[in-house]
């Protein structure tokens, strides 16, 4: 049972049904006990406060306690303790306690520099409030005191949430809310400071200064006090025209930064005026570390996103350049689509390529998502190690800088990007003094006492050409060698470095010499493990290294100690890319048999992992398994690239199918789509014996982007036949998510094909209702609900959705449950049962938040706002505003359009037709008219514009808008009025549209 005092006192069963508490006295009694669960409240106080102005007798109090016990049953115990009573409930059962716990968690995340997590947690905390705390208990002194404390905590959490959103660059969305809050709380200086920062961030310095003056006047007139030191400091910054401070978050470093003070100051100063700065130089010269330091010191007011591009070339820079060259052959120059780099930036920003909602929506590229997410966001984007994908990196930088005016880019590469407006700075080797300081600093980390004769150290650093990576690797060897021994070996191994030219190829050979020296210091077992480790494109766990490389943990730890491999946290290890490139050459030199065996072991290991994970991802343990498969994303892509390139169709098909469950749930299908399409183009995947279901999974993945449409047209019929054979109904196939996605994708397109296709698709759905795989059965019920609804049977559809939700819930799958609950909420709202629609949407929201589904959470918030709008306009506004914030952060135009449409509905209700017209028009510009999922919002926008036109006497425009509504919905059914009613439009609007 769940208890609520953040609003009117309520109690609900776990299934959401409300417990009838009875009259106000009993409700007040429960509230007073819930203020501090487990604490004893004296009978005298309860008697005085449960009824306003009355002193209830002891017998009457005992009677009320007895009745309350009966109502609550076993879910909560009300115990008599001495001269009082207490209630015993499970931890977290009271919304106020849950709110305070989440608020504290969010505040901690904010203090630790994680604004994204802070904002998400604080939104969940604030959503627990349904109204004033302990509403209706004005006559209780105890309740008034507790309500005051809770209200203060709510305001503090609200301030923390807005602070987090400002750090994420959501200044525009925060300003209206902050204006309202400052108006209601003119003496809260933190709110005033937040509003000043938000206004200034969007160019409103004068407005920010006005806010300060108004706050100063209120403080003086009402409290006789001056503004705080913090507010005064912010005021001074405004007067100096400096941006309000916003903490930057460059990657944390474990070692000190030595030398390069002048280069740091120069690059940082340049980045304040230039929008694209590229640091160039040879491998190992320290471009990445300098970029990290520049990002940490040069940024004021912007967030920082650091993107490592080295892993995108599975075989190192040479292989990456070859792969990129193949892409350029098809898409030359900057006109090409920067697919790999755009996907990497999306991942670094924490954005998913697809939402969880499935259907026939428009395919959008990763670049489209990035532009939408960064259009109004102040951000410094650091693109590290661009050299092996220089054309893609150049195209990405050019497109983003042109479309996102508040974006700046800092790149590192071995060559310039060649983009107009680029400012190039050469990163040179360290001078003699800085090189010696770096060597001494790193040497002290591995051995006690003196770090060697200064002259010997200078000779070592000079032989290494002052390259920081080479110096650090050399200093690490002092764990087992004396400086004099080290100097002797360097003279012998790096002779070619001292004599080499400064051409690009020579610089590569210089680094190879440095790495070769370090490599030659390894034992034979260490060298074998290191060269095999190079097949991992995204790092690996110790268990993965043991399985693929045939080594043990001791050898792995030895490689870490000798700086050939580094531990990166969370039990994972990675190899520096310069070392990995050299190790790849060593693997080839060891013989084709070893290289081929290692790569196949890598692919097999990933296949086993994804096969093991797939069933768990559809059960209660999905939250534990999703991070595990997400961590192997780069390795999966590398294995796919190698398998497809080598013509190993069976391996590639098995990998794609095994990973499809994770890819669809995580919204990462776009990364695998090119490999699926390439496989279908290069091999007769349909002819691989026993892999018909894998073939269908490959077709689905290839068709998940716009580029895959031709592949879908060619392979759809054969893949459907193969999938039907794999899932005949009386026995289960291997990958039920493939079945669900196929049913939904095909159902959205059968109208454009032979009618027999529609019959086949329906038969495939019907066959799975009694499938032995319970998840497949639930999926079939979910899909069949839409078919039933399309036939006009709302009751039958509700039964199907309800059965699907119950079966998904029994299995513990949050993803499927959220889909089914959302469908049920839509039906409840359409028949006017707003309370049930809201309750169902709340439950779906809780699940999508657990999964981190930003787009789906935004969509659900809009739906809840629609259900709340007829009865609670303020709550609906909060939902629409929150949805807009999530949509902007996630780069989802469709979700943002839905939120803007909702805000337009409110503006129209409040008699603000111009504001409503602006919002509706803005929303329509973001909606794809061919996407069925957005049809409801498109219709509502057109209806709203039609009403506005009619109100101002423009009958021709009104008829045009209503005519467009009728055209939009006519294809969905024979009856326009019935279709509009199913979409939830009020009857008067249905009549108005139908009449036109």
Least confident of 138-142, 334-338, 776-780, 946-950: 334-338
Nearest CA among 379, 275, 335 for reference residue 891: 379
* Confidence class for position 809, pLDDT limits 50, 70, 90: very high
CA distance 458 to 473: 15
Nearest CA among 641, 635, 627, 617 for reference residue 738: 617
Please report, for residues 106, 339, 417, 704, the alpha-carbon distance to residue 392 in angstroms, rounded to integers and kept in the order given: 38, 8, 9, 22
CA distance 849 to 833: 24
CA distance 499 to 804: 72
DSSP one-letter code for 223: I
Q: Is 331 helix (H, G, I), strand (E, B) or coil?
A: coil
Q: Would the pLDDT of 616 be above 70?
A: yes
Taking residue 432's Cβ as centre, other Cβ atoms within 10 Å add up to: 12
Helix (H) / strand (E) containing 2: strand 2-4
pLDDT at 760: 55
408 beta partners: 380
Helix (H) / strand (E) containing 59: helix 58-72
Least confident of 284-293, 653-662, 733-742, 763-772: 763-772
The whole-number average pLDDT for the span 415-440 is 88
- Cβ-contact 14, 20 below 8 angstroms: no
Please report, for residues 256, 362, 901, 919, the alpha-carbon distance to residue 923 in angstroms, rounded to integers and kept in the order given: 50, 17, 6, 6
pLDDT at 533: 96
User: Percent of the chain beyond pLDDT 90?
Assistant: 30
Nearest CA among 869, 818, 823 for reference residue 845: 818
Q: Is 21 helix (H, G, I), strand (E, B) or coil?
A: coil
The whole-number average pLDDT for the span 452-476 is 80
- Helix, strand, coil percentages for the chain (3-state, nearest 5): 65, 5, 25
CA distance 470 to 576: 12
Least confident of 152-156, 312-316, 648-652: 312-316
pLDDT at 213: 86
Q: Would the pLDDT of 758 be above 60?
A: no
Q: What are phi and psi of 303, to 5 degrees?
A: -80, 165
Please report, for residues 42, 479, 527, the alpha-carbon distance to residue 561 in angstroms, rounded to integers and kept in the order given: 65, 9, 14
Q: Which residue has the higher pLDDT, 861 or 848?
A: 861
| Residues written for the chain | 996
CA distance 491 to 171: 58
Cβ partners under 8 Å of residue 821, min gap 6: 805, 840, 841, 843, 844, 847
* Confidence class for position 933, pLDDT limits 50, 70, 90: low
Q: pLDDT for 679-736, tens place per residue?
A: 998 877 777 888 999 999 999 999 877 677 788 888 888 888 888 888 887 888 889 9
Position of tokens 């299908």? Answer: 669
pLDDT at 751: 40
Q: Are strands 10-12 and 2-4 parallel, antiparallel or unpaired?
A: antiparallel
Q: Would the pLDDT of 410 be above 90?
A: yes
* Sheet strand arrangement including 423-426: 303-308, 379-384, 407-413, 276-280, 423-426
* Confidence class for position 219, pLDDT limits 50, 70, 90: confident
* CA angle 180–182–185, rounded 5-degree value: 110
Rank 478-487, 710-719, 961-970 by mean pLDDT and report only the highest: 710-719
Taking residue 632's Cβ as centre, other Cβ atoms within 10 Å add up to: 26
2 beta partners: 12
Q: pLDDT for 819-834, tens place per residue?
A: 899 999 989 988 889 9
User: What region, left, alpha or beta, does residue 450 occupy, with left being phi > 0 and alpha being psi -120 to 50 degrees?
Assistant: beta
- Cβ-contact 75, 1 below 8 angstroms: yes
Helix (H) / strand (E) containing 179: helix 171-184
Q: Would the pLDDT of 654 be above 90?
A: yes
pLDDT at 716: 84
Handedness of CA 49, 52, 57, 63 (dihedral sign): negative
Q: Would the pLDDT of 550 be above 70?
A: yes
* Confidence class for position 990, pLDDT limits 50, 70, 90: low
Nearest CA among 485, 468, 478 for reference residue 446: 478
Q: Where are the alpha helices (DSSP H) in 375-523?
A: 390-403, 432-444, 454-463, 468-476, 483-493, 495-499, 504-520
* Confidence class for position 242, pLDDT limits 50, 70, 90: very low
User: Percent of the chain beyond pLDDT 70?
Assistant: 84
* CA angle 17–23–29, rounded 5-degree value: 90
Q: Would the pLDDT of 843 be above 90?
A: yes
Cβ partners under 8 Å of residue 290, min gap 6: 260, 263, 264, 267, 279, 412, 427
* Confidence class for position 486, pLDDT limits 50, 70, 90: confident
Q: Would the pLDDT of 352 be above 60?
A: no
Q: Give the count of alpha carbons within 13 A of 497, CB side only.
A: 26
Least confident of 282-291, 578-587, 963-972: 963-972
Q: Would the pLDDT of 507 be above 50?
A: no
The rounded Cα 139 to chain-centroid distance in angstroms is 46
Q: Would the pLDDT of 924 be above 60?
A: yes
Q: Would the pLDDT of 384 be above 60?
A: yes
Q: Would the pLDDT of 156 be above 90?
A: yes
CA distance 81 to 42: 9
Rank 360-374, 912-926, 980-994 by mean pLDDT and report only the highest: 912-926
* Confidence class for position 754, pLDDT limits 50, 70, 90: very low
The whole-number average pLDDT for the span 946-955 is 90
Q: Which residue has the higher pLDDT, 953 or 235?
A: 953
Q: Which residue has the higher pLDDT, 459 or 982?
A: 459
pLDDT at 52: 65
Q: pLDDT for 15-36, tens place per residue?
A: 878 888 888 888 888 888 988 8
Q: Which parts of 476-591 are beta strand (E)? A: 540-541, 566-569, 572-574
CA dihedral 969, 363, 752, 939 (to 10 degrees): 0
Position of tokens 């200086």? Answer: 189
- Cβ-contact 780, 766 below 8 angstroms: yes
pLDDT at 324: 36
Handedness of CA 369, 371, 377, 382 (dihedral sign): positive
- Cβ-contact 409, 295 below 8 angstroms: no
DSSP of 705-756: SGGGHHHHHHHHHHHHHHHHHH--SSS--S-HHHHHHHHHHHHTTGGGS-HH
Q: Which residue has the higher pLDDT, 670 or 250?
A: 670
Q: Would the pLDDT of 976 be above 80?
A: no
- Cβ-contact 512, 493 below 8 angstroms: no
pLDDT at 986: 59
**Average model confidence (pLDDT) across the chain:** 81
Cα(first)–Cα(last) distance of the chain, in Å? 51
- Cβ-contact 529, 549 below 8 angstroms: yes
The whole-number average pLDDT for the span 358-382 is 71
* Confidence class for position 108, pLDDT limits 50, 70, 90: very high
Q: Would the pLDDT of 396 be above 90?
A: yes
């Amino acid at each position: 049972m769940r208890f609520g005092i953040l609003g009117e006192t309520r109690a609900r069963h776990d299934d959401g049904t409300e417990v009838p508490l009875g009259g106000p006295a009993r409700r007040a009694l429960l509230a007073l006990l819930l203020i501090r669960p487990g604490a004893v409240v004296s009978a005298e106080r309860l008697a005085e406060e449960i009824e306003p102005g009355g002193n209830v007798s002891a017998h009457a109090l005992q009677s009320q306690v007895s009745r309350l016990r009966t109502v609550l049953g076993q879910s909560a115990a009300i115990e008599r303790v001495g001269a009082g009573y207490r209630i015993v409930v499970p931890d977290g059962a009271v919304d106020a306690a849950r709110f305070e716990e989440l608020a504290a968690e969010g505040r901690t995340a904010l203090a630790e520099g994680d604004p994204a997590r802070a904002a998400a947690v604080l939104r969940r905390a604030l959503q627990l409030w349904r109204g004033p705390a302990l509403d209706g208990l004005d006559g209780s002194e105890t309740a008034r005191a507790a309500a005051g404390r809770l209200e203060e905590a709510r305001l503090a959490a609200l301030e923390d949430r807005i602070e987090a959103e400002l750090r994420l660059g959501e200044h525009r969305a925060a300003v209206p809310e902050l204006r309202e809050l400052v108006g209601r709380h003119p003496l809260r200086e933190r709110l005033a400071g937040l509003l000043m920062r938000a206004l200034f961030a969007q160019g409103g310095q004068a407005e920010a200064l006005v806010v300060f003056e108004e706050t100063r006047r209120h403080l003086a007139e009402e409290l006789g006090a001056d503004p705080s030191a913090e507010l005064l400091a912010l005021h001074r910054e405004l007067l100096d025209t400096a941006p309000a401070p916003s903490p930057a978050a460059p990657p944390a470093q474990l070692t000190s930064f030595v030398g390069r003070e002048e280069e740091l100051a120069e690059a940082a100063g340049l980045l304040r005026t230039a929008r694209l700065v590229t640091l160039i130089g040879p491998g190992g010269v320290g471009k990445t570390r300098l970029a990290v330091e520049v990002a940490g010191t040069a940024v004021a007011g912007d967030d920082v996103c650091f993107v490592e591009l080295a892993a995108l070339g599975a075989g190192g820079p040479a292989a990456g350049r070859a792969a990129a060259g193949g892409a350029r052959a098809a898409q030359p120059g900057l006109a090409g689509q920067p697919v790999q780099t755009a996907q990497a930036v999306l991942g670094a920003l924490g954005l998913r390529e697809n939402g969880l909602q499935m259907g026939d929506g428009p395919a959008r590229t990763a670049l489209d998502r990035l532009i939408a997410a960064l259009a109004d966001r102040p951000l410094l984007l650091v693109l590290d190690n661009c050299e092996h994908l220089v054309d893609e990196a150049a195209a990405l930088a050019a497109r983003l800088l042109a479309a996102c005016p508040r974006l700046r880019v800092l790149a590192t590469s071995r060559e310039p990007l060649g983009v107009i407006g680029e400012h190039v700075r050469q990163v040179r080797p360290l001078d003699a003094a800085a090189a010696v300081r770096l060597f001494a600093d790193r040497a002290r980390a591995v051995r006690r006492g003196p770090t060697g004769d200064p002259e010997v150290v200078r000779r070592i650093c000079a032989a290494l050409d002052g390259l920081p990576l080479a110096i650090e690797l050399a200093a690490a060897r002092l764990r087992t060698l004396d400086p004099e021994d080290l100097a002797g070996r360097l003279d012998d191994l790096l002779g070619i470095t001292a004599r080499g030219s400064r051409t690009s190829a020579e610089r590569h050979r210089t680094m190879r010499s440095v790495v070769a020296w370090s490599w030659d210091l390894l034992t034979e077992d260490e060298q074998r493990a290191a060269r095999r480790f190079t097949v991992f494109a995204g790092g690996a766990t110790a268990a993965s290294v043991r399985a693929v490389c045939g080594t043990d943990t001791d050898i792995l730890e030895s490689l870490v100690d000798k700086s050939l491999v580094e531990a990166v946290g969370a039990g994972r290890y990675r190899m520096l890319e310069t070392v990995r490139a050299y190790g790849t050459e060593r693997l080839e030199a060891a013989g084709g048999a070893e290289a081929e065996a290692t790569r196949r072991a890598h692919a097999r290991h990933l296949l086993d992992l994804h096969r093991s994970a797939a069933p768990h991802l559809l059960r209660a343990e999905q939250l534990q398994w999703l991070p595990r498969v997400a961590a192997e994303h780069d390795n999966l892509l590398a294995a796919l690239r190698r398998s497809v390139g080598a013509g190993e169709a069976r391996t590639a098909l098995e990998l794609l199918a095994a990973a499809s469950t994770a890819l669809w749930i995580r919204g990462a299908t776009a990364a695998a789509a090119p490999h699926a399409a390439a496989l279908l183009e290069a091999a007769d995947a349909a002819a691989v014996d026993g892999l018909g279901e894998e073939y269908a999974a490959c077709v689905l993945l290839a068709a998940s982007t716009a580029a895959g449409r031709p592949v879908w047209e060619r392979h759809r019929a054969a893949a459907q036949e193969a999938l039907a054979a794999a899932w005949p109904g009386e026995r289960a196939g291997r990958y039920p998510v493939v079945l669900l996605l196929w049913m939904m994708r095909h159902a959205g397109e059968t109208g454009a094909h032979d009618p027999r296709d529609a019959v086949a698709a329906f038969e495939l759905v019907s066959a799975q209702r009694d499938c032995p795989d319970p998840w497949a059965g639930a999926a079939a019920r979910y899909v069949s609900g839409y078919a039933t609804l399309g036939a006009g049977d709302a009751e039958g559809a509700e039964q199907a959705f309800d059965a699907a939700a119950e079966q998904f819930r029994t299995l513990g799958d949050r993803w499927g449950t959220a889909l089914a609950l959302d469908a049920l909420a839509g039906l409840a709202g359409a028949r006017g049962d707003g309370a049930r629609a809201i309750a169902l949407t709340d439950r779906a929201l809780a699940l999508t938040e657990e999964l981190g589904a930003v787009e789906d959470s935004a969509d659900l918030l809009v739906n809840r706002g629609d259900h709340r709008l007829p009865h609670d306009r303020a709550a609906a506004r909060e939902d629409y505003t929150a949805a807009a914030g999530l949509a902007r952060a996630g780069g989802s135009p469709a979700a943002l359009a839905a939120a803007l449409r909702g805000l337009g509905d409110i503006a129209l209700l409040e008699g603000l037709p111009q504001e409503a017209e602006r919002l509706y028009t803005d929303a329509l510009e973001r909606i794809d008219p061919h996407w069925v999922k957005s049809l409801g919002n498109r219709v509502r926008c057109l209806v709203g514009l039609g009403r506005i036109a009619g109100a101002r006497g423009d009958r021709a425009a009104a008829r045009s808008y209503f005519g467009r509504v009728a055209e939009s919905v006519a294809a969905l059914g024979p009856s326009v009025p019935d279709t509009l009613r199913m979409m939830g439009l009020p009857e008067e609007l249905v009549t108005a549209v139908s009449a036109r």
